[in-house]
């Protein structure tokens, strides 16, 4: 009775069931029961997902695609039909495991984190809706289904980021996230309309198997200009990517992500690791053959990713809010995944290392990033502040958390044998093989920066003397429900890279490519050594600055108080102080500050300006409506004249 | 029961024609407090609606009655939209005859009120059935004139009278435009009959024709609240009694858009491509101005006026597409729009019975009456076009229709405008969900009828969206 197909239904339906039951019945009455129900359902879903994945990968069927079910959802004119279905292939199976497992962990964690919240029932309902939407997105068989769940992900993130709606900052952050991603989604929708109109199908299988040469001859009228169908497809691919651009918070649409920290920490954790932001990368990975066929779209994707990667890493070095550091680090890691996908193109040919690397990095990143956020939440819960200034000395008080943090931090830094090493190494290799040497150098540099800021966070939070009254007085303990998921997640953070490498290299290829594929690629055994060396140097710098016996942490944290000799020693490495020195302003502080200023004034300013401008126009419309009848009658006459001259009638 | 393949298909129309007289006449035989007219009206409307559903949809030319009364698929479905609107409007109005609301006195003479709605509905039916310009014009006037009376229904209300005066004055000018356009069209084609006009248009154009087109579009632009002919709408929507506003925003709009559909895909079909720029401009400016206007409102009915102006712009986008696609999209959207819009009005109506009809009255609604707040959110998200609610699929059809003839710039503009629209719809949801409740607001009470209708409409909005294939038989299962 229970076979893989029924299990697949379970994965999909249990979170939905949790949402319905908790949302309608349990949530308001008994928050404890709601939490237990959510954890049970998500646990079964995670177990089913893992079972399905094991069956799938051990069967001989493995790398092929299968559609478990599919029915017509919405017929359009002609042959165009929107379907709802469930697609199984290595990528979606991997995502199913990641989403359900992370969601299970976050549910357990929330039991501890949200214990004192009045609206705990609502929280568990929304959390399940979130993972349901993401599951629907990853198993989508076509663009239309993907878009529906894509929007549902947006809506549920809006509800969750603004969960504490009594905080004005949370409300504005949720609004910003929703409207900004919706803005990107409107391009996505246009892309879908354009592409499906040219191709006549929403199905991934059709879209992924086209080649541009079939469309060179036909033309399409886009209103203002007439272009060949091939160019329209390239335009469509860029529009579709724009959807992922906003969802994955790539520069310059990244501003919502750090602000989304206003939500409860479990929400940040799930947004950053398994749902929402990964959706953009997933979209590009899913449609990779299509992007590969569409001219230079991949190059755009690569540069967007690479720029975000460096940009976010530089900002992360200067932050003090623990959650913000993690948020910028997510941006940077997403940049890695995005550019790895984009780097797969050499001239007209493509190779698949980057695709494998990127999906592999989605997998490993999910575990250690989720773990890091949960740890951050745990610290915040104990110390009651996000500020690194007030932490320190937590090693003795929270020993288990300390070990798990070390594992996750080593994983994100790419130190072998932790998981991040394997995936990041492949990404850097992909940049090298793609002969994108500039991006390759940036990736190495960012790898060093990543190690630096992560260890900065680690040392400042756990080492040194306690800088917080509560910690000194010993009011700190480890909560069981909150520590358990952290410990469980430390296992994949340690091992998923080592164990997953073979699996990913064997099964994870983007499917049938209809462009020339490069098989002979440069091998570079020296890359891992260089990457590890960079990471270790960065680690030593961080240690030297923040944890060595000689390090003066108070001084390091206090930017205004710098003694002369000390300053001279640290000027070369110490980012926060460099920020204030003239020489270094042009290098790190300068870049970060310019980037921040650009962020704050130009991008947010543009946003503010458009809002102001629209409001002014709104005022204009309202003023015209003064209730003066002769004016109204006048508009009728003016209207006729207006359309006589501008209506483009051949009069 | 009935064999609708012969001329029995006329039965619903005939019933609808005599129905208002029965309702009004029944008043002569019972006292003022009697519920008789109300019951007759309910029975009559619902019976006609059910009868309509028995008419089998048949593709092709449709069926004719004395050569100038045609019933085709589009006509049947438009009748259903109009009747849904009339029934919901009547149910919505009932409360206003029991006690006053929003600072306005109680209304009287429900029988005549329902009669007027029925006449307006019949006008809409005439528009979609017309085969010649005379019937066509008469239908439009039958649909409009009761609206003037309805606007001024509250004789003691100054604002209502003022609104009705503005409405009737501007409406007369628009009617003059229409007649002017029709006369030129007649002058050009030498016939009143649509098929002959179509032949004449297909065989060549002349300035006469373009003048006619210009004036016809400007005239109907008044009724459809297109830019810049929409100026009456905010004032009339605000001044008229709330149920009349609701009926105006659905029935009147549906009639006007049906008028354009009949015109553009009927007599003017050969020159659709040439008038596409005009349609696109009207659509684009209207939805932009509607959205801009809605941004800055604090009164609910005024807000709904601008929202419905913007919706008219969205519907216009579909007119650019090929006939079958456009008609499908418009019908589906009108169903969705009617349901979502009435849901919003029902919620506002309940607020209005106890408080002022402003944004401030919505504060803390989610705490005092969560189910009402959920319904409000559903209707707003549907009007804003958020998947998976019905409004999204409706808009998708509209945009798809516009895009299928290559008007990507307009569709892009409309989609971007949707983001703007989301902004103000969210303002309203914010008032209901985020703002703290105000202690001075009087509590809300719902009657059984209100509760039932709101639940039914909420389910309809969600169901139409979640399961759009349910509506296959009324939307995509037939071909024009």
Mean pLDDT of the region A518-540: 82
pLDDT mean across residues, chain B: 85
Is the alpha carbon torsion for B27, B33, B36, B42 positive or negative? positive
Among the listed ranges A402-411, B169-178, B389-398, which one has the minimum average pLDDT value? Answer: B389-398
Pick the more confident residue, A223 or A284.
A284
Distance (Å) from the C-alpha of residue B31 to the closest C-alpha of chain A?
A: 40
What is the C-alpha separation between B235 and B103, in angstroms, rounded? 17
Residue with tokens 């200067």: A318
Alpha-carbon distances of A322 from A328, A422, A458, A461, rounded to whole Å: 10, 26, 10, 9
Delimit the domains of chain A by residue range: 549-578, 582-646
- Domain end: B267, B293, B309, which one? B267
Q: What is the pLDDT of residues A29-86, one digit of tens each?
A: 788 888 888 999 999 999 999 988 888 888 877 677 777 777 777 766 667 777 888 8
Query: Is A151–B227 a contact, with Cβ atoms under 8 angstroms apart?
Result: no
Residue B1: pLDDT band by 50, 70, 90 thresholds?
Answer: very low
What's the pLDDT score for residue A598? Answer: 66
What is the C-alpha separation between A48 and A41, in angstroms, rounded? 11
Co-location of B395 and B251 in the same domain: no
Residue A570: pLDDT band by 50, 70, 90 thresholds?
Answer: very low
Could you tell me if B2 and B8 are in contact, meaning their C-beta atoms sit under 8 angstroms apart?
yes
Helix (H, G, I), strand (E, B) or coil at B63: strand
Instruction: Quote ipTM for the complex.
Output: 0.77
User: b/e for B290-310, b at 16 or more Cβ within 10 A?
Assistant: bbbbbbbbebbbbbbbbbbbb
Quick one: tokens of A439? Answer: 């991006």
Distance (Å) from the C-alpha of residue B121 to the closest C-alpha of chain A?
A: 26
Among A178, A186, A221, select the one facing B415 at the smallest CB separation: A186
What's the pLDDT score for residue B70? Answer: 84
What's the pLDDT score for residue B186? Answer: 92
What is the C-alpha separation between B372 and B359, in angstroms, rounded? 15
Could you tell me if B34 and B109 are in contact, meaning their C-beta atoms sit under 8 angstroms apart?
no
What's the pLDDT score for residue B69? Answer: 83
What's the pLDDT score for residue B104? Answer: 77
Among the listed ranges A22-26, B236-240, B252-256, which one has the minimum average pLDDT value? Answer: A22-26
Pick the more confident residue, B6 or B315.
B315
Q: Which of B152, B230, B140 is nearest to B176 (CA)?
A: B140
Among the listed ranges A60-69, A121-130, B191-200, which one has the minimum average pLDDT value? Answer: A60-69
What's the pLDDT score for residue A594? Answer: 62
Query: Is B234–A155 a contact, with Cβ atoms under 8 angstroms apart?
Result: no
Residue A224: pLDDT band by 50, 70, 90 thresholds?
Answer: low
What's the pLDDT score for residue B471? Answer: 45
Co-location of B260 and B307 in the same domain: no
**Total domains, chain B:** 2
What is the C-alpha separation between B227 and B281, in angstroms, rounded? 9
Residue B178: pLDDT band by 50, 70, 90 thresholds?
Answer: very high
Q: No. of H helices and E strands in chain A?
A: 29, 6
Query: Is A197–B404 a contact, with Cβ atoms under 8 angstroms apart?
Result: yes
Residues of A whose CB is below 8 A from B215 = 640
Distance (Å) from the C-alpha of residue A147 to the closest C-alpha of chain B?
A: 9
Chains A–B, number of C-beta pairs less than 8 Å apart: 157
Co-location of B229 and B376 in the same domain: no
What's the pLDDT score for residue A362? Answer: 92
pLDDT mean across residues, chain A: 81
Mean pLDDT of the region A188-209: 87
What's the pLDDT score for residue B6? Answer: 55
Q: Which domain holds residue B316?
A: 274-480
Percentages helix, strand, coil for chain A (3-state, rounded to 5) are: 70, 5, 25
Alpha-carbon B267 to chain mean position: 23
Q: A562 pLDDT exceeds 60?
A: no
Co-location of B155 and B10 in the same domain: yes
Pick the more confident residue, A150 or B1.
A150
What's the pLDDT score for residue B217? Answer: 93
Q: What is the pLDDT of residues A470-495, one digit of tens each?
A: 667 766 777 788 888 899 988 888 88
Residue with tokens 């504060």: B363
Nearest CA in chain A to B289: A621
Query: Is B292–A190 a contact, with Cβ atoms under 8 angstroms apart?
Result: no
Mean pLDDT of the region B33-50: 87
Co-location of B174 and B35 in the same domain: yes
Distance (Å) from the C-alpha of residue A409 to the closest C-alpha of chain B?
A: 38
Co-location of B321 and B462 in the same domain: yes
Residue B314: pLDDT band by 50, 70, 90 thresholds?
Answer: very high
Among the listed ranges A310-319, A348-357, B13-22, which one has the minimum average pLDDT value? Answer: A310-319
What's the pLDDT score for residue A597? Answer: 67
Among A190, A627, A643, select the one facing B278 at the smallest CB separation: A643
What's the pLDDT score for residue A584? Answer: 43
Q: B470 pLDDT exceeds 80?
A: no
What is the C-alpha separation between B464 and B6, in angstroms, rounded? 33
- Domain end: B231, B247, B267, which one? B267
Nearest CA in chain B to A71: B469
What's the pLDDT score for residue A574? Answer: 40
Q: What percent of chain A has pLDDT over 90?
A: 15
What's the pLDDT score for residue B31? Answer: 77
Q: B116 pLDDT exceeds 90?
A: yes
What's the pLDDT score for residue A77? Answer: 61
Query: Is A193–B411 a contact, with Cβ atoms under 8 angstroms apart?
Result: yes
Residue A549: pLDDT band by 50, 70, 90 thresholds?
Answer: confident
First to last CA, chain A: 73
Among A74, A178, A197, select the one facing B393 at the smallest CB separation: A74
Nearest CA in chain B to A642: B228
Mean pLDDT of the region B238-245: 90
Could you tell me if B321 and B405 are in contact, meaning their C-beta atoms sit under 8 angstroms apart?
yes
Q: B109 pLDDT exceeds 80?
A: yes
Among the listed ranges A50-59, A392-401, B396-405, which one has the minimum average pLDDT value? Answer: A392-401
What's the pLDDT score for residue B7? Answer: 61
Residue B337: pLDDT band by 50, 70, 90 thresholds?
Answer: very high
Pick the more confident residue, A100 or B446.
A100
What's the pLDDT score for residue B386? Answer: 81
Mean pLDDT of the region A549-575: 48
Co-location of B225 and B324 in the same domain: no
Co-location of B314 and B342 in the same domain: yes
Query: Is B275–A649 a contact, with Cβ atoms under 8 angstroms apart?
Result: yes
Mean pLDDT of the region B425-450: 80
Query: Is A625–B293 a contact, with Cβ atoms under 8 angstroms apart?
Result: yes
Nearest CA in chain B to A193: B400
Alpha-carbon distances of A453 from A391, A531, A538, A549, A550, rounded to whole Å: 16, 16, 9, 19, 19
Residues of A whose CB is below 8 A from B399 = 193
Residue B171: pLDDT band by 50, 70, 90 thresholds?
Answer: very high
User: b/e for A475-507, b at 16 or more Cβ within 10 A?
Assistant: ebebbeebbbbbebbbebbbbbbeebbebbeeb
Pick the more confident residue, A316 or B378.
B378
Residue A99: pLDDT band by 50, 70, 90 thresholds?
Answer: very high
Using DSSP bridges, classify how beta strands B63-65 and B69-71 pair: parallel, antiparallel or unpaired. Answer: antiparallel
Mean pLDDT of the region A264-285: 89
Pick the more confident residue, B160 or A77.
B160
Residue B14: pLDDT band by 50, 70, 90 thresholds?
Answer: confident
Mean pLDDT of the region A321-335: 89
Query: Is B214–A190 a contact, with Cβ atoms under 8 angstroms apart?
Result: no
What is the C-alpha separation between B133 and B124, in angstroms, rounded? 14
Alpha-carbon distances of B407 from A22, A194, A220, B276, B398, rounded to whole Å: 45, 11, 11, 9, 12
What's the pLDDT score for residue A548? Answer: 73
Co-location of B318 and B455 in the same domain: yes
Co-location of B175 and B228 in the same domain: yes
What's the pLDDT score for residue A603? Answer: 67
Among the listed ranges A144-153, A371-380, A601-610, B30-39, which one has the minimum average pLDDT value? Answer: A601-610
Residue B139: pLDDT band by 50, 70, 90 thresholds?
Answer: very high
Q: What is the pLDDT of residues B45-94, one digit of tens each?
A: 999 888 887 776 655 566 777 777 888 888 888 888 999 999 999 999 88
| DSSP 8-state assignment for residue B224 | T
HSE of B226, CA atoms in CB hemisphere, 13 A: 30
Co-location of B279 and B263 in the same domain: no
Distance (Å) from the C-alpha of residue A199 to the closest C-alpha of chain B?
A: 13
Centre a 10 Å sphere on the Cβ of residue A524 and count the other Cβ atoms it contains: 14
Nearest CA in chain B to A200: B404
Length, in residues, of chain B: 480
What's the pLDDT score for residue A579? Answer: 33
Q: B13 pLDDT exceeds 80?
A: yes
Mean pLDDT of the region B374-401: 87
Q: What are phi and psi of B213, to 5 degrees?
A: -60, -45
Alpha-carbon distances of B250 from B110, B174, B284, B334, rounded to whole Å: 20, 19, 21, 8
Question: What is the secondary structure of A35-95 as a DSSP string?
Answer: HHHHHHHHHHHHHHHHHHHHHHHHSTTTTS-EEEEEEEEEE-STT-EEEEEEEESHHHHHH
């Amino acid at each position: 009775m229970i076979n893989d197909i029924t299990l697949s239904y379970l994965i999909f339906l249990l979170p939905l069931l949790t949402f319905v039951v908790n949302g309608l019945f349990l949530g308001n009455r008994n928050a404890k029961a709601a939490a237990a129900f959510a954890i049970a359902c998500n646990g079964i879903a995670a177990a089913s997902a893992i079972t399905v994945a094991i069956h799938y990968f051990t069967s001989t069927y493995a790398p092929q695609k299968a559609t478990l079910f599919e029915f017509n959802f919405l017929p359009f004119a002609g042959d165009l039909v929107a379907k709802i279905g469930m697609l199984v292939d290595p990528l979606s199976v991997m995502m199913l495991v990641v989403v359900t497992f992370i969601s299970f962990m976050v549910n357990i964690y929330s039991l501890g984190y949200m214990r004192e919240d009045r609206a705990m029932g609502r929280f568990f309902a929304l959390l399940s809706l979130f993972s349901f939407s993401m599951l629907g997105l990853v198993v989508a068989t076509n663009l239309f289904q993907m878009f529906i769940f894509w929007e549902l992900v947006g809506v549920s993130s809006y509800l969750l980021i603004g969960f504490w709606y009594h905080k004005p900052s949370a409300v504005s952050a949720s609004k910003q996230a929703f409207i900004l991603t919706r803005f990107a989604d409107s391009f996505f929708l246009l892309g879908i309309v354009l592409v499906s109109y040219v191709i006549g199908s929403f199905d991934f299988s059709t879209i992924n198997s086209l080649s541009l040469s079939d469309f060179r001859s036909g033309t399409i009228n886009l209103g203002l200009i007439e272009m060949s169908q091939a160019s329209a497809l390239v335009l469509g691919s860029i529009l579709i990517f724009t959807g992922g651009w906003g969802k994955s918070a790539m520069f310059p649409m990244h501003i919502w992500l750090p602000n989304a920290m206003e939500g409860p920490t479990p929400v940040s954790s799930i947004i950053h690791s398994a749902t929402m932001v990964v959706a953009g990368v997933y979209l590009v990975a899913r449609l990779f053959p299509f992007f590969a066929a569409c001219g230079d779209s991949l190059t755009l994707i690569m540069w967007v990713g690479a720029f975000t990667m460096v940009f976010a890493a530089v900002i992360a070095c200067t932050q003090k809010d623990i959650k913000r550091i993690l948020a910028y680090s997510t941006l940077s890691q997403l940049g890695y995944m995005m550019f790895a996908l984009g780097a797969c193109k050499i001239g007209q040919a493509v190779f698949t290392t980057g695709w494998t690397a990127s999906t592999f990095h989605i997998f490993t990143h999910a575990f250690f990033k989720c773990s890091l956020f949960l740890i951050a939440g745990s610290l915040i819960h104990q110390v009651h502040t996000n500020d690194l200034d007030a932490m320190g000395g937590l090693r003795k008080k929270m020993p288990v958390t300390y070990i798990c943090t070390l594992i996750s931090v080593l994983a994100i830094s790419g130190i072998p044998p932790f998981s991040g090493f394997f995936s990041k190494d492949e990404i850097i290799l992909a940049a090298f093989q793609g002969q994108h040497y500039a991006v390759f150098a940036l990736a190495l540099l960012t790898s060093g920066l990543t190690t630096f800021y992560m260890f900065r966070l680690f040392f400042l939070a756990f080492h040194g003397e306690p800088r917080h009254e509560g910690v000194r007085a010993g009011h700190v303990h480890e909560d069981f429900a909150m520590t358990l998921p952290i410990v469980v997640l430390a296992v994949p953070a340690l091992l998923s890279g080592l164990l997953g490498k073979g699996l990913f290299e064997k099964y994870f290829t983007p499917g049938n490519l209809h462009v020339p594929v490069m098989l002979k690629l440069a091998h570079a055994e020296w890359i891992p050594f260089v990457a590890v060396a960079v990471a270790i140097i960065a680690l030593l710098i961080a240690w030297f600055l923040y944890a060595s016996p000689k390090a003066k942490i108070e001084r390091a944290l206090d930017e205004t108080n710098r003694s002369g000799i000390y300053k001279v020693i640290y000027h070369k490495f110490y980012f926060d102080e460099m920020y204030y020195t003239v020489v270094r302003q042009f290098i790190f502080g300068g870049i970060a500050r310019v980037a921040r200023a650009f962020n704050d004034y130009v991008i947010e300013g543009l946003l503010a300006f458009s809002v102001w401008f629209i409001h002014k126009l709104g005022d204009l419309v309202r003023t015209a409506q003064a209730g003066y009848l002769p004016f109204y009658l006048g508009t009728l006459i003016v209207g006729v004249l207006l359309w006589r001259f501008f209506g483009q009638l051949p009069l | 029961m009935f064999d609708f393949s012969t001329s029995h298909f006329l039965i619903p129309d005939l019933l609808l024609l005599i129905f208002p007289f029965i309702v009004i006449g029944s008043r002569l035989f019972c006292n003022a407090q009697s519920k008789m007219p109300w019951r007759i009206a309910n029975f009559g409307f619902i019976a006609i609606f059910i009868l309509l559903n028995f008419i089998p949809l048949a593709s092709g030319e449709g069926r004719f009655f004395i050569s100038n009364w045609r019933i085709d698929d589009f006509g049947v479905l438009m009748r259903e939209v109009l009747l849904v609107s009339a029934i919901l409007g009547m149910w919505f109005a009932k409360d206003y005859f029991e006690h006053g609301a929003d600072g306005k006195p109680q209304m009287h003479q429900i029988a005549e009120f329902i009669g007027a709605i029925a006449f307006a509905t019949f006008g809409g039916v005439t528009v979609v059935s017309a085969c010649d310009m005379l019937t066509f014009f008469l239908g439009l006037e039958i649909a409009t004139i009761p609206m003037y009376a309805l606007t001024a229904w509250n004789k003691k209300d100054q604002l209502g009278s003022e609104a009705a005066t503005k409405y009737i004055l501007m409406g007369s000018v628009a009617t003059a435009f229409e007649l002017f356009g029709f006369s030129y069209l007649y002058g050009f084609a030498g016939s009143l009959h649509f098929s002959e006009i179509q032949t004449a248009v297909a065989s060549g154009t002349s300035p006469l024709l373009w003048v006619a087109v210009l004036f016809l579009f400007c005239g109907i632009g008044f009724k459809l609240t297109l830019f810049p002919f929409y100026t009456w709408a905010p004032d009339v929507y605000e001044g008229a009694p709330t149920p009349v506003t609701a009926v105006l925003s659905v029935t009147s709009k549906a009639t006007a858009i049906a008028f354009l559909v009949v015109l553009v895909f009927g007599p003017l079909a050969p020159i659709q491509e040439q008038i596409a720029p005009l349609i696109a401009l009207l659509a684009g400016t209207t939805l932009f101005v509607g959205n801009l206007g809605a941004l800055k409102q604090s009164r609910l009915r005024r807000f709904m006026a601008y929202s419905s102006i913007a919706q008219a712009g969205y519907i216009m986008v579909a007119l650019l597409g090929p006939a079958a696609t456009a008609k499908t999209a418009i019908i589906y959207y009108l169903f969705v729009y009617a349901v979502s819009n009435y849901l919003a009005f029902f919620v506002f109506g309940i607020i209005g019975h106890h408080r002022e009809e402003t944004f401030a009255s919505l504060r803390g609604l989610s705490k005092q009456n969560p189910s009402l707040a959920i319904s409000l959110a559903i209707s707003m998200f549907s009007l804003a076009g958020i998947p998976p609610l019905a409004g999204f699929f409706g808009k998708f059809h509209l945009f798809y229709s516009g895009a299928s003839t290559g008007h990507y710039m307009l569709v892009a503009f409309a989609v971007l405008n949707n983001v703007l629209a989301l902004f103000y719809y969210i303002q309203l949801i914010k008032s209901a969900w985020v703002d703290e409740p105000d202690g001075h607001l009087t509590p809300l009470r719902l009657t059984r009828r209100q509760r039932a209708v709101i639940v039914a409409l909420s389910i309809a909005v969600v169901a139409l969206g979640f399961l759009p294939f349910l509506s296959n038989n009324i939307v995509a299962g037939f071909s024009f």
